[in-house]
Each structure stands twice: as C-alpha cells, then as structure tokens.
Amino acid sequence: MARITASVYTSHVPAIGAAMDLGKDKEPYWQKVFAGYDFSRQWIKENKPDVVFLVFNDHATAFSLEMIPTFAIGTAAEYAVADEGWGPRPVPRVEGAPELASHIAHSVIQQDFDLTIVNKMDVDHGLTVPLSLMCGQPKEWPFKVIPFAVNVVQYPVPSGMRCFKLGQAIRKAVESFDEDLNVQIWGTGGMSHQLQGPRAGLINREWDNKFLDRLIEDPEALAKVSHIEYVNEAGSEGIELVMWLIARGAMADVGGAGGRKPLVKHRFYHVPASNTAVGHLILENQQ
C-alpha cells in the first residue's frame, strides 16, 4: 500500500525563486535563507519520495476571481509552470500522478470533503518555490507531484480545523491505494507576512515560533485558532499557514491513526526574505 512517510513545511516567497533563477542565491542576504535548506536538500536525496502531495495556494494565477475552488486536486499527467507576469520560471514542468490523485479524489470525496477536480492548471510560485528550495535546480524534478490548491486568497477561506481534518482524510486515502508508494505531504505558505495596507511588512517572530511549536506538539489545539488570530498576529497573508494543518493532519499520530509522534528532523526560521518570515520543518513518521 502507499504510505505517507514524512511531511515538509515551508514558506513559498516568490523572491526566493527569483533569487535562484537570477543566480543570486550565493549573495550574503540570500545565503542566510538557503543555508536553512542545506540539510533538507540532502535529506530529500536520501529519502526520495515517489510522489509529493503538495498543498499550496494559487495566487490568482490559474484561478481568477471568476472561479474560486476552496480545495482543488490536480489529476493531470503534467502541469506547466505559470507565467506570473515575468515569463514562466526557468524550472522543469511538473509531472503529475493521475492514478493516485484520482484515487485520493474518490476516497476524500467519499469521506465527505468535496474537492474540485482539476485536469489542467498552470502552477505558480506557491508550488514551484518549495520544489526549488527542496531540490535545487535539477533538469527534472526527482518525483511526481499531486498539486492540491487551497483558497486562502478570497474570503471565506477554510478553517484550520477543516484543513486538519482534511489531512486525516488524505492519509486514509493514500493508505487505501494498492501500490507500494512512498508519499510525502508538503504544506506551504506563511509564515507571518502582510503585503499591503498600513501594516505592510508585519513580522511576528514570537507568534511564528509558537506556531511551529504547536504544529509539532499539539496540532489539534492549533487547529482551533481562528482566522482573526492569524490575521491579527501573522498578517493578512499569514492565513496561508492553515495549509500546514492539512499536512500535519495527514501524519500518523493524529485522527485516531494510532501512530507515534513524528520525529522532528529539521527546523528553521529566518527573517527576512523579501517582506516575509521564512519557516521550515521536516517531520518524519516513525515506523
């Protein structure tokens, strides 16, 4: 059967992708950001998944205000890299996992979470920057990807608790797929940032680090945090962090799955990257 072996959490700041694409990643400013991913790039080589279930948000790139799915699962064989206004990033196309994705769609919808099925979607920095951070600049991405887009851009957005429970349904869906696959689930976006208005530039290190503590130790309680707390404490775009609860909900120690607490393989926090705090965690399920 397929198994979720680990979860990865990371911010997806577009300027990080630009820094890599423009060869600025060795500059001192950016080196401090990328240093936090040296471990991760080695770790993913040693723990190469077959498929990454990549939870991200589209930033009004593939979906405009004309159509706003709350949860959308990519079931396509491949995904083009989006043009976000400066041409597509010079990174490989993303290979999908249509059979597993279709199975997860079926199972999760049967578990009462309605998903939008997406057979064609260009993927923006929300998906490609985490791949670049974790894998560097390969000719091909070393695994298949199931893009899972969450609306955190236009209210009403889903609650942390709904995301956490959805993660549990995704774990059950993966474990009922009858093929031996090593699956990782990634949650992306955050940490604290606000990109517009009088509070633009807001960073809350203390709240961010508390979020990381709680995500590791007590995700069930963290899932009860209200939208208004995210916005007050972590800025308007800090709401992206609810996506991390989908990945955490898919781990083996929650939702009655009976597993042990995950191992914290890596933890990193850094300010600044562009206007944003960068947070990163790797949690491994213990066998």
Task: Indicate which residues carry an active-site annotation.
Answer: 125, 193
Q: Please, what is the minimum distance in Å from the beta carbon of residue 15 to ligand DHB?
A: 6
| 59 lies in the site for ligand DHB, by CB under 6 A | yes
Part in contact with ligand DHB (CB under 6 A); list of ranges 45-53, 90-98, 210-218, 270-278: 270-278
Query: Measured from the CB atom, is 138 or 201 closer to ligand DHB?
Result: 201
What is the number of alpha carbons within 13 Å of residue 11 lying toward its C-beta? 30
Beta carbon of residue 281, minimum distance to ligand DHB (angstroms, whole number): 16
Q: What tokens appear for 95 in the block?
A: 């290979």
Looking at residue 163, its amino acid is C
| Interacting span for ligand DHB (CB under 6 A) from 63-71, 159-167, 220-228, 268-276 | 268-276
Shortest distance, CB of residue 190 to ligand DHB, whole angstroms? 7
Q: Does 195 bind ligand DHB (CB under 6 A)?
A: yes
Count, residues in the chain: 287
Contact 49, 43 (CB under 8 A): no
72 phi/psi in degrees, rounded to 5: -130, 125
List the end-to-end C-alpha distance of the chain, in Å, as a whole number. 14
The nearer residue to ligand DHB, 35 or 200, going by C-beta atoms, is 200
CB of 38 to ligand DHB, least distance (A): 22
For 169, phi then psi, to 5°, come to -65, -35
**How far is Cα 230 from Cα 244, in angstroms, rounded to an integer?**
13
The tokens describing 148, both together, are 């899972």
Task: Determine the Cα–Cα distance for residues 232 and 194; give it in Å rounded to an integer.
Answer: 10
Segment contacting ligand DHB by CB under 6 A, of 7-15, 45-53, 71-79, 168-176: 7-15
The contact set with ligand DHB (CB under 6 A) reads 12-15, 59, 189, 193, 195, 237, 240, 274-276
